[in-house]
Structure 1
Amino acid sequence: MNKCCIFVCVQLVYIEFECSACVCVCERDEMGFITLLIILFTVLWAAVLVFRSNSRRRPSSAKLPPGPYRFPIVGNIPQLGLNPHQSFANLSKTYGPLMSLHLGSVYTVVVSSPEIAREVLQKHDQVFSGRIIGAAAQVHDHHNISIAYLPAGIEWRKKRKICREHMFSTHRLDESQALRREKLQKLCDYVSNCCGGGGGGGGDGRAVNIGEAAFITSLNLMSATLFSVDFTDFDSDATQDLKETIEGVAKILGTPNLADFFPIFKRFDPQGIQKKAEFYFGKLLGLFEDIINQRLESRRTVGSSRKNDLLETLFDLSQGTDYDLTCKDIKHLLVDLFVAGTDTTSSTVEWAMTELLLNPEKMANAKNELTTLIGKNKQVQESDISKLPYLRALVKETFRYHPGGPLLIPHKAEDDVEINGYTIPKDTQILVNVWAIGRDSSIWSNPDSFEPERFLDSKVDFKGQDFELIPFGSGRRMCPGLPLVDRMLHLTVASLIHNFDWKLEAGVKLDTEEKFGLSLHKAVPLEAIPTKV
Structure 2
Amino acid sequence: MEAWSIILFLIPIFLSFIIAFLLFPCRKPPLPPGPPSIPILGSLIWLRHSTSLLNLEILLRKFRSQLGPIITLRFGSHPSIFIVDRYLAHKALVEHGASFSSRPPPSPYSRFHNSRILNITSSPYGDQWRLLRRNLTSEILHPVKIHRFAPGRRWVLGLLLNDLQTRSEQSPKRAVVAMESFQLAMFSLLVLMCFGEKLDEKAIRKIETAQREPLLYMSKHMRVFSFVPKLLLRFMFQGMLKNVARLRQIQIDLFLPLIRARRENHKQAREQRFVYSYVDSLLDLSLAQEGGSQLTDNEIILLCSEFLTAGTDSTATALQWIMAEIAARTAVQAKLLEELKGINGEEIKEEDLNKLPYLKAVVLEGLRRHPPSHFLLPHSVIKDVEFGGYLIPKNASINFTVADMAWDEKLWEEPMEFKPERFMAGGDGEGVDITGNREIKMMPFGVGRRICPGLGLAILHLEYFVANMVREFEWAAVDGEEIDFSEKSEFTVVMSKPLRARITPRKGLLKDS
Please give the range of the TM-score, normalised by the shorter of the 2 chains: 0.7 to 0.9
Letter in 2 for 1:259: F
Match of 1:479 among 452, 456, 480: 452
The alpha-carbon distance between structure 1 residues 277 and 232, as it changes in their structure 2 partners (threshold 3 A), is farther
More deviation, 283-292/155-164: 283-292
Q: How many angstroms apart in 1 are the aligned matches of 2:306 and 2:362?
A: 27
Residue 152 of structure 2 is aligned to residue 179 of structure 1: yes
Encode CA deviations 1:103-135: one digit per residue, 9 max, x unaligned: 232311111121111122112222222212223
Residue 199 of structure 2 is aligned to residue 226 of structure 1: no
Encode CA deviations 1:456-508: one digit per residue, 9 max, x unaligned: 13111323424221111122211112221121111112222223112333443
Which residue number in structure 1 is paired with residue 256 of structure 2? Answer: 289
Which residue number in structure 1 is paired with residue 495 of structure 2? Answer: 522
Whether the 8 Å CA contact 1:127–1:414 is kept in 2: the answer is yes
Instruction: Trace 1:109-508 onto structure 2 (pairs within 5 A).
Output: 109-132=81-104, 133-141=106-114, 144-195=117-168, 201=169, 204=172, 206-233=174-201, 239=205, 242-243=208-209, 245-246=211-212, 248-249=214-215, 252=218, 257-261=223-227, 262-270=229-237, 274-298=241-265, 306=273, 308-311=275-278, 313-314=280-281, 317-318=284-285, 324-371=294-341, 373-374=342-343, 378-457=346-425, 458-465=430-437, 466-508=439-481
- Secondary structure of the 2:158 match is helix
Letter in 2 for 1:443: L
The alpha-carbon distance between structure 1 residues 315 and 94, as it changes in their structure 2 partners (threshold 3 A), is closer
Whether the 8 Å CA contact 1:464–1:478 is kept in 2: the answer is no
Which residue number in structure 1 is paired with residue 30 of structure 2? Answer: 63
Whether the 8 Å CA contact 1:119–1:419 is kept in 2: the answer is no
Q: How many angstroms apart in 1 are the aligned matches of 2:454 and 2:213?
A: 18
Letter in 1 for 2:476: K
TM-score after normalising by structure 2: 0.82
Q: How many angstroms apart in 2 are the aligned matches of 1:344 and 1:502?
A: 22
Q: How many angstroms apart in 2 are the aligned matches of 1:66 and 1:218?
A: 42
- Secondary structure of the 1:472 match is coil
Give the drift of 1:423.
Answer: 2.0
Which structure 2 residue ranges, 5 or more long, are not aligned?
1-25, 507-513
Q: How many angstroms apart in 1 are the aligned matches of 2:403 and 2:239?
A: 28
Q: How many angstroms apart in 1 are the aligned matches of 2:172 and 2:143?
A: 42
The alpha-carbon distance between structure 1 residues 254 and 202, as it changes in their structure 2 partners (threshold 3 A), is closer
Q: How many angstroms apart in 2 are the aligned matches of 1:362 and 1:143?
A: 50
Q: How many angstroms apart in 2 are the aligned matches of 1:228 and 1:78?
A: 49
Which residue number in structure 1 is paired with residue 42 of structure 2? Answer: 75
**How many residue pairs end up in the alignment?**
465
Whether the 8 Å CA contact 1:269–1:275 is kept in 2: the answer is no
Give the drift of 1:295.
Answer: 3.0
Q: If you compute each CA radius of gyration, which structure gives the higher value, 1 or 2?
A: 2
Which residue number in structure 2 is paired with residue 106 of structure 1? Answer: 78
Q: How many angstroms apart in 2 are the aligned matches of 1:244 and 1:356?
A: 32
Q: How many angstroms apart in 1 are the aligned matches of 2:83 and 2:337?
A: 37
Give the drift of 1:348.
Answer: 0.7
Q: How many angstroms apart in 2 are the aligned matches of 1:289 and 1:510?
A: 42
Encode CA deviations 1:250-289: one digit per residue, 9 max, x unaligned: 6735977333322222234449654454344443333221
Encode CA deviations 1:360-398: one digit per residue, 9 max, x unaligned: 322222222222x225x7311112222211111111111
Q: How many angstroms apart in 2 are the aligned matches of 1:157 and 1:361?
A: 46
Give the drift of 1:326.
Answer: 3.3
Letter in 2 for 1:68: P
Letter in 2 for 1:290: P
Q: How many angstroms apart in 1 are the aligned matches of 2:107 and 2:497?
A: 28
Give the drift of 1:518.
Answer: 4.2
- Secondary structure of the 2:262 match is helix
Could you tell me the percent identity over the aligned residues? 27
Give the drift of 1:78.
Answer: 3.3
The alpha-carbon distance between structure 1 residues 516 and 278, as it changes in their structure 2 partners (threshold 3 A), is farther
The alpha-carbon distance between structure 1 residues 136 and 356, as it changes in their structure 2 partners (threshold 3 A), is farther
The alpha-carbon distance between structure 1 residues 121 and 267, as it changes in their structure 2 partners (threshold 3 A), is same
